């Protein structure tokens, strides 16, 4: 079945209200996935820093004698060649003390240092990340959340984020990635436009490696969730957003963005977005299993609150969201989250 956006909703739009209890779990209207949220991916595109480039040669010094020979072309050529020779002699002659005017340090650089490194290709469907075994669970103590307190939310998000960082660190380290740890923030301002039918609970910004929880929206959803189930719901939310961070650190998020920008149709763009979101949902399953006690009811609770409702053109059908969450929860390798290599029916 082709899944097309209904009602003219742009990609990234939140779900509409009548679609049941599946609110905009982690809808990404803004600023994700605005183009400015995506710097060049660290994994796939690397530019040598400026200090790898040799400095320009020093200007010819006055008094070299070049000026007086500029009467004819031949003389000029001789002069330039003499000048070159003199520079060479200067820098090759051992000195007891370096000249105060500076030395041509470019000669200290090897040619290989000035050359750009080999390009690293990121294949979102065949990525070394998928070879990684599921990370071992970590002990995770989270502070009790006081939903009406902004400070409590900040503490909770930071604490859960720390657990997820500890969980994922071995995976990223094994890939040779020195990923910057994300920041955690809360905001009282919803990024959703006034006429949005759903709402954004949290979002990830690659530019700032930051996860932000939208307080008015998590409070609105939290009021509809049983008190004894809320913590698992928020752990899943944080796990999903941290999944976007893993995508960012591995270069997958940047490629995904490029795929969307270069899509030939709205359907293709939504396909790329859903694969990204469903992969993050699968990583939420990895996070849930890794930072909770792994009780089976955790999965049920999260599915009941997030994945039991309507189908979303941006985040997938309810069935597929639940499928991918369980993949991450239950399978032996991160490769179980390879939504980019999945059949179309699994990412509708």
Structure tokens at 98: 């370096």
**Is the Cβ–Cβ distance between 307 and 321 less than 8 Å?**
yes
**Other residues' Cβ atoms within 10 Å of the Cβ of residue 63:** 7
Beta bridge partners of 210: 183, 205
Distance in Å, CB of 293 to Zn ion, minimum: 25
Shortest distance, CB of residue 347 to Zn ion, whole angstroms? 14
Minimum gap (Å) between residue 277 Cβ and Zn ion: 5
Residue number, 12 or 41, with CB nearest to Zn ion? 12
CB of 275 to Zn ion, least distance (A): 11
Q: Measured in Å, how far apart are the chain's first and last C-alpha atoms? A: 8
Separation between Cα atoms, residue 108 and residue 110, nearest integer Å: 7
Q: Which is nearer to Zn ion, 163 or 236 (CB)?
A: 236
The nearer residue to Zn ion, 26 or 274, going by C-beta atoms, is 26
Instruction: Give CA angle at 141 (217, 242), nearest 5°.
Output: 50
Return the DSSP state at 166.
Answer: H
User: Taking the complex as a whole, how short is the minimal distance between the CB of residue 56 and Zn ion, in angstroms?
Assistant: 47
- Which residues on adjacent β-strands are paired with residue 212? 185, 203
Q: Tell the smallest beta-carbon distance from residue 256 to Zn ion (Å).
A: 11
Q: Which residues bind Zn ion (CB under 5 A)?
A: 26, 277, 280
- Residue 91 or 263: the one with the smaller Cβ distance to Zn ion is 263
**How far, in Å, are 3, 8, 118, 149, 276 from residue 269 at the CA level?**
11, 14, 30, 38, 11
Considering beta carbons, is residue 13 or 66 the nearer one to Zn ion? 13
Cβ at position 316, least distance to Zn ion in Å: 11
Closest residue (Cβ) to Zn ion?
26
Q: Of the two residues 26 and 230, which places its CB atom closer to Zn ion in the complex? A: 26
Q: What is the 8-class DSSP label of residue 64?
A: S
In the complex with Zn ion, the residue whose CB is nearer, 41 or 66, is: 41
CA proximity to 182, closest of 194, 190, 172: 172
Shortest CB 281 distance to Zn ion, Å: 8
**Contacting residues for 320 by C-beta, under 8 A, at least 6 apart:** 278, 346, 347, 348
Cβ at position 237, least distance to Zn ion in Å: 10
Rg (alpha carbons) of the chain, rounded to whole number: 28
Q: Which is nearer to Zn ion, 79 or 257 (CB)?
A: 257
- Residue 259 or 280: the one with the smaller Cβ distance to Zn ion is 280
Beta bridge partners of residue 126, listed in sequence order: none
| 3-state SS track over 207-267 | CCCEEEEEHHHHHHHHCCCCHHHHHHHHHHHHHHHHHHHHHHHCCHHHHHHHHHHCCCCHH
Between CA 136 and CA 168 the distance in angstroms is 9
């Amino acid at each position: 079945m082709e899944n097309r956006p209904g009602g003219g909703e742009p990609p990234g739009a939140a779900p509409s209200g009548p679609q049941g209890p599946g609110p905009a779990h982690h809808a990404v209207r803004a600023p994700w996935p605005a183009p400015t949220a995506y710097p060049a991916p660290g994994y796939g595109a690397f530019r040598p820093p400026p200090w790898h480039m040799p400095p320009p040669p020093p200007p010819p010094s006055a008094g070299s004698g070049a000026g007086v020979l500029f009467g004819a072309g031949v003389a000029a050529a001789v002069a330039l060649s003499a000048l070159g020779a003199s520079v060479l002699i200067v820098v090759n002659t051992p000195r007891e003390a370096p000249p105060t005017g500076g030395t041509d340090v470019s000669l200290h650089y090897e040619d290989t240092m000035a050359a750009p490194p080999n390009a690293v290709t990121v294949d979102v469907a065949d990525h070394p990340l998928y070879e990684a075994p599921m990370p071992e669970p970590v002990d995770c103590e989270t502070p009790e959340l006081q939903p009406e307190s902004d400070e409590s939310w900040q503490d909770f998000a930071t604490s859960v984020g720390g657990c997820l960082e500890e969980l994922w660190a071995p995976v990223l380290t094994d890939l040779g990635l020195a990923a910057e740890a994300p920041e955690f923030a809360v905001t009282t301002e919803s990024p959703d436009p006034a006429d949005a039918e759903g709402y954004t609970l949290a979002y990830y910004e690659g530019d700032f490696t930051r996860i932000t929880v939208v307080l008015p929206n998590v409070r609105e959803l939290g009021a509809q969730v049983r008190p004894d189930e809320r913590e698992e719901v928020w752990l899943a939310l944080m796990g999903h957003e941290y999944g976007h961070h893993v995508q960012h650190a591995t270069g997958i998020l940047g490629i995904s963005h490029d795929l969307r920008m270069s899509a030939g149709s709205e359907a293709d763009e939504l396909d790329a977005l859903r694969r990204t979101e469903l992969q993050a949902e699968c990583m939420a399953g990895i996070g849930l299993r890794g930072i909770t006690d792994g009780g089976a009811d955790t999965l049920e609770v999260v599915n009941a609150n997030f994945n039991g409702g309507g189908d979303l053109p941006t985040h997938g059908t309810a069935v597929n969201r639940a499928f991918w969450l369980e993949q991450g929860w239950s399978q032996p390798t991160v490769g179980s989250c390879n939504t980019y290599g999945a059949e179309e029916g699994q990412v509708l």
